[in-house]
Amino acid sequence: MPRALTYQRPDSVDAAITLLTGDGHRPLAGGTVLNADDDPTLVSMVDLQSCGLETILATDGRLRLGAMATLADLAEDERVPTGLAEAARAELPSTLRSLATVGGTVVAGGPDSVLLAALLVHDSRVQVVGPDGVTTVMLPELQDLGVPVGHLITAVDIDPTGSCIRHATARTPADVPIVSATARTSDDGVRLALTGVANHPVLVDPSDPTSGLTPSDDFRGSASYRLRLAAVLATRALAATGEVA
């Protein structure tokens, strides 16, 4: 753990929030990013594993995923919708799935995260706690604003109805998709999320999925290739849910 200047393991959310007010203090969840990062900046780590945040709870027609629930927990819990569980399985290899958490994925999940795309179409609301109390933020808003310093994600609430379907293109079946489209139909209508076309997974308009998108080029695909893939994959994902693009 070369980045750890200090390490503390509080036993409650309140104690963690108090520690996080200190300079250079950061939450440590599964550590798959924080411990592995090349960034040499020293960090005072506040380990969340004893704060009681690992529970998955069905409540008021929604499913509350504790921030410290691991991707392996999501993949194995029968209450988690099939498509979301499958996205958790696809996100990382099994050794990392048992470490990486829901909260860490929301904060660190990159542009290719199929799990974040699945959370987006399941209408995720993120519970954030800080010295000023508890707030609930829609996931797209949190992606834009980030988690304020000194604050913690404690849970992600999803609408567990309906199951999402993903269509994706990757260099090999085992690779992270270059672009993916995840669709879900529920009583509220259809939702569609894309990966690989922006700096984080995005919810898009199902009737015009690529409108306003400006993907970056990289060695896996040019911007125009990504846009073309996004349009084709969106059509397939929507067709699979019974919707027509």
Binding site for ligand FAD (CB under 6 A): 26-34, 36, 48, 67, 91-92, 96, 99-101, 103-105, 107-110, 112-113, 147, 152-153, 176
- Nearest distance from C-beta of residue 11 to ligand FAD, angstroms: 15
65 CB-near residues (< 8 Å, 6+ apart): 56, 74, 80, 102, 155, 156, 157, 158
143 CB-near residues (< 8 Å, 6+ apart): 116, 200, 201
| 114 versus 245: smaller Cβ distance to ligand FAD | 114
Q: How far is CA 124 from CA 36, 45, 103, 137, 154, in A?
A: 27, 27, 12, 9, 13
| 44 versus 185: smaller Cβ distance to ligand FAD | 44
| 65 versus 100: smaller Cβ distance to ligand FAD | 100
| 30 versus 160: smaller Cβ distance to ligand FAD | 30
Task: Give dist(CA 54, CA 93) in Å, integer.
Answer: 20
- Nearest distance from C-beta of residue 81 to ligand FAD, angstroms: 19
- Nearest distance from C-beta of residue 114 to ligand FAD, angstroms: 8
